[in-house]
């Protein structure tokens, strides 16, 4: 029986060398007497094992990881020709009783169900998975637009871009305003680590986003749409444009869509410059209009006066991708997943000190610990879990002792973090939480549009204090200054960037205040991470005088003859860590 070989060609796979693997297979597919069909797909989420090849053999699926052209050649010879799966290379199967399936089986793939399962550049493959059936059903049953909005409200879907506002209610606001021009916008420019979730959806299932926008346009009476996508996502933009052209040819975009008389809607991709502030909807609108991306006062809200002063509805990528599923299967079916106030699933980008980093989709209501230990495989090198940064650069840090916190909007908000668009950065015992706060605040400070004094100046002052603390120059009262500044910035900034920018600082002070005090009072970094606050010292009981440390010290700060105990001159040591990493006898202590 002919077998199918599928190569994952998402950005993560391509970066890991998947294009080379695909090219080798493409050149050699005819040499095997057509024993297999070669196809391509996007990322299935298992980014930590890219490049990935899936072999479908007699209805069974075998997913091979860490592939190279040479391993692909062996795979063809052994599995395809000799019909012997290579067990040691298999990282997962799609059989539910397979022991390798922990990463996949713990997930509930709703929004990402097609990612890694279809060729995103072939509209017929999307249609074969019930794609565009939702808009066809609306047309066939002559469903009123108000009923579509009510269905979305009843589903309990909340915006997946951060705020968690009811999607259907937001639609109802926009539908309530009359105008010759109404706009639908997809925000695909959010700049936190979760943005690679948006990118993966656009790369892996662009038609789902288009269909969601088409349904949204029908619901609110929009006739024009824009997908605002950062230019740094060239593959996503390429596949979006392919999908848009295919949708036009099939009659899903244009005039009288799906046979609905008078329903005319089309859209295009607007490439953004990747400014974090353009994740805020009024700044995004300004950018589309050719102005500098800066937020404006509300009201009026975009639902009343948005793009080109017309009624406008904005949702992010994941929100739009949920819409066809809700309309196709019904609100009640969708609402079976999740918690009372947070329905459905959430896609997260797992990164940081985690064994299995990648893209995961889980039901609302799962705990942080389950995501880290059951899906993510635990902490790298089996170190101790310390905390998780949730919600991107302007999110908050949740400590390990709150690892049982459930993933839903209200539970996460109570910790001082936010859901955001799905960034989840895992930290271990070697992570300095003061430096984490400094790192994220440095990002938000640089991304501030500068319009608000509190955001523009306040974040700079907070960053200066954090830099002093991590360099051993912290002073009594610095913690109180950070709290005071943070609260004022949250209270007085115009947009979401400024209002949430202090979150990493305030949450780390709340849960890791002892680390701040150690930096300020003892001039020590408990995580032994801040360069200016650590000391390298030779352990006399372990040093054998091999001279490796002294020979590799870039500033010759280590004294000692061969077979004699060595000594580090602290006044000359630049704390580069070379001696620590090169010593084979653990004779260099990090204090």
234 found inside a domain: yes
Q: pLDDT over 90 for what percent of the chain?
A: 83
Backbone angles phi, psi at 7, to 5 degrees: -105, 130
pTM of structure: 0.93
Distance (Å, whole) CA 574 – CA 582: 16
Whether residue 225 is predicted with pLDDT greater than 90 in this model: the reply is yes
Whether residue 99 is predicted with pLDDT greater than 70 in this model: the reply is no
* Range of the structural domain that residue 569 is part of: 535-590
Of 381, 404, 428, the position where a domain reaches its end is 428
Which of 510, 498, 504 has the alpha carbon at shortest distance from 437? Answer: 504
How many domains does the structure of the chain reveal?
Answer: 5
Is 192 found in the same domain as 270? yes
Is 448 found in the same domain as 300? no
pLDDT tens track for 2-29: 789 999 999 999 999 999 999 999 988 7
Q: Report yes or no: 364 and 339 within 8 Å, Cβ to Cβ.
A: yes
pLDDT tens track for 354-384: 999 999 999 999 999 999 998 999 999 999 9
DSSP state of 199: H
Q: For residue 234, what is the enclosing H or E element?
A: helix 234-250
Q: How confident is the model at residue 345, as a pLDDT?
A: 96
What are the residues whose beta carbons fall under 8 Å from the beta carbon of 537, sequence distance 6 or more?
A: 568, 588, 589, 591
- Return the CATH number at 570: 3.30.70.20
- Return the CATH number at 476: 1.20.1440.230
414 found inside a domain: yes
> Within 10 A of 405 (CB to CB), how many other CB atoms are there?
19
pLDDT bin (cut points 50, 70, 90) of residue 514 is very high
Is 564 found in the same domain as 476? no
Q: How confident is the model at residue 422, as a pLDDT?
A: 83
Continuous H helices in 348-420: 368-370, 409-414
Is 440 found in the same domain as 422? no
264 found inside a domain: yes
Q: Any bridge partners for residue 358, and if so which?
A: 350
For range 391-420, the mean pLDDT: 92
In the numeric block, the tokens 């069909």 are attached to: 37
Of 401, 428, 455, the position where a domain reaches its end is 428
Is 264 found in the same domain as 167? yes
Whether residue 32 is predicted with pLDDT greater than 90 in this model: the reply is no
Count Cβ neighbours within 10 Å for each residue of 487-497 and write b for 16 or more, e otherwise.
Answer: eebbeebbbbb
Is 439 found in the same domain as 422? no
186 found inside a domain: yes
66 found inside a domain: yes
> Which of 31-35, 79-83, 120-124, 214-218 is predicted least confidently?
31-35
pLDDT bin (cut points 50, 70, 90) of residue 190 is low
Is 278 found in the same domain as 148? yes
pLDDT tens track for 498-513: 999 999 999 999 999 9
Whether residue 194 is predicted with pLDDT greater than 50 in this model: the reply is no
Of 384, 403, 428, the position where a domain reaches its end is 428
pLDDT tens track for 262-274: 999 999 999 988 7
Is 328 found in the same domain as 196? yes
Is 253 found in the same domain as 200? yes
pLDDT bin (cut points 50, 70, 90) of residue 159 is very high
Distance (Å, whole) CA 8 – CA 66: 11
Whether residue 100 is predicted with pLDDT greater than 50 in this model: the reply is yes
> Within 10 A of 1 (CB to CB), how many other CB atoms are there?
7
Distance (Å, whole) CA 160 – CA 318: 6
pLDDT tens track for 246-297: 999 999 999 999 999 999 999 999 998 878 888 889 999 999 999 999 999 9
pLDDT bin (cut points 50, 70, 90) of residue 487 is very high
What mean pLDDT, rounded, does the chain reach?
A: 93
- Return the CATH number at 258: 3.40.50.11540
For range 533-560, the mean pLDDT: 95
113 found inside a domain: no
Q: Any bridge partners for residue 361, and if so which?
A: 347
- Return the CATH number at 74: 3.40.30.10
DSSP result, 42-93: ---S-GGG-S-EEEEETTEEEEE-S--HHHHHHHIIIIIIS----GGGEEEE
């Amino acid at each position: 029986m002919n077998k199918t070989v599928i190569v994952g060609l998402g950005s993560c796979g391509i970066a890991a060398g998947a294009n080379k693997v695909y090219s080798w297979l493409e050149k050699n597919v005819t040499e095997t007497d057509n024993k297999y069909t070669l196809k391509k797909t996007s990322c299935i989420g298992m980014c930590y094992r890219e490049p990935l090849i899936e072999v479908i053999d007699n209805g069974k699926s075998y997913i091979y990881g860490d592939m190279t052209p040479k391993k692909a050649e062996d795979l063809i010879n052994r599995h395809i020709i000799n019909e012997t799966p290579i067990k040691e290379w298999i990282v997962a199967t799609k059989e539910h009783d397979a022991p390798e399936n922990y990463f996949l089986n713990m997930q509930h793939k709703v929004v990402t169900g097609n990612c890694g399962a279809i060729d995103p550049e072939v509209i017929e493959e999307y249609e074969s998975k019930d794609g565009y059936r939702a808009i066809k059903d609306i047309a066939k049953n002559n469903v009123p637009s108000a009923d579509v909005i009510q269905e979305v409200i009843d589903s309990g879907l909340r915006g997946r871009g951060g705020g968690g506002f009811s999607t259907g209610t937001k639609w109802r606001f926009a539908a309530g305003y009359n105008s010759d021009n109404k706009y639908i916008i997809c925000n695909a420019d959010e700049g936190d680590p979760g943005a690679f979730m948006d990118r993966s959806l656009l790369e892996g299932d662009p038609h789902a986003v288009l269909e969601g926008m088409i349904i949204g346009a029908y619901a609110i009476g929009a006739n024009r749409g824009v997908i605002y996508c950062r230019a740094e996502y060239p593959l996503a933009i390429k596949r979006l444009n392919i999908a848009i052209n295919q949708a036009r040819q099939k009659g899903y975009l244009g005039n009288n869509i799906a046979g609905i008389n008078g329903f005319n809607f089309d859209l295009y991709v607007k490439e953004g410059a990747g400014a974090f502030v353009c994740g805020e909807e009024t700044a995004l609108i300004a950018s589309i209009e050719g102005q500098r991306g800066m937020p404006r006062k509300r009201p009026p809200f975009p639902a009343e006066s948005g793009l080109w002063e017309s009624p406008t509805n904005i949702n992010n990528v994941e929100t739009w991708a949920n819409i066809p599923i809700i309309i196709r299967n019904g609100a009640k079916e969708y609402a079976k997943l999740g918690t009372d106030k947070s329905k459905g699933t959430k896609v997260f980008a797992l990164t940081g000190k985690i064994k299995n980093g990648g893209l995961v989709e889980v039901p609302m209501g799962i705990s942080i610990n389950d995501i880290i230990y059951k899906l993510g495989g635990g902490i790298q090198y089996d170190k101790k879990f310390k905390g998780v940064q949730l919600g991107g650069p302007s999110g908050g840090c949740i400590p390990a002792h709150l690892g049982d916190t459930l993933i839903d909007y209200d539970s996460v908000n109570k910790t001082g973090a936010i859901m955001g668009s799905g960034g989840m950065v895992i930290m271990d015992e070697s992570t300095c939480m003061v430096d984490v706060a400094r790192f994220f605040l440095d990002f938000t400070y640089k991304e501030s549009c500068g319009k608000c004094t509190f955001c523009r100046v306040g974040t700079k002052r907070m960053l200066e204090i954090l830099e002093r603390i991590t360099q051993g120059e912290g002073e009594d009262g610095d913690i109180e200054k950070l709290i005071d500044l943070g609260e004022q910035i949250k209270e007085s900034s115009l947009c979401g960037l400024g209002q949430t920018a202090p979150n990493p600082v305030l949450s780390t002070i709340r849960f890791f205040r002892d680390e701040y005090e150690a930096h300020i009072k003892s001039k020590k970094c408990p995580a032994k991470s801040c360069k200016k606050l650590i000391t390298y010292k030779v352990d006399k009981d372990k040093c054998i005088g091999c001279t490796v440390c002294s020979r590799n010290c870039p500033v010759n700060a280590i004294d000692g003859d061969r077979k004699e105990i060595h000594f580090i001159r602290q006044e000359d040591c630049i704390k580069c860590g070379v001696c620590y990493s090169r010593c084979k006898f653990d004779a260099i202590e990090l204090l």
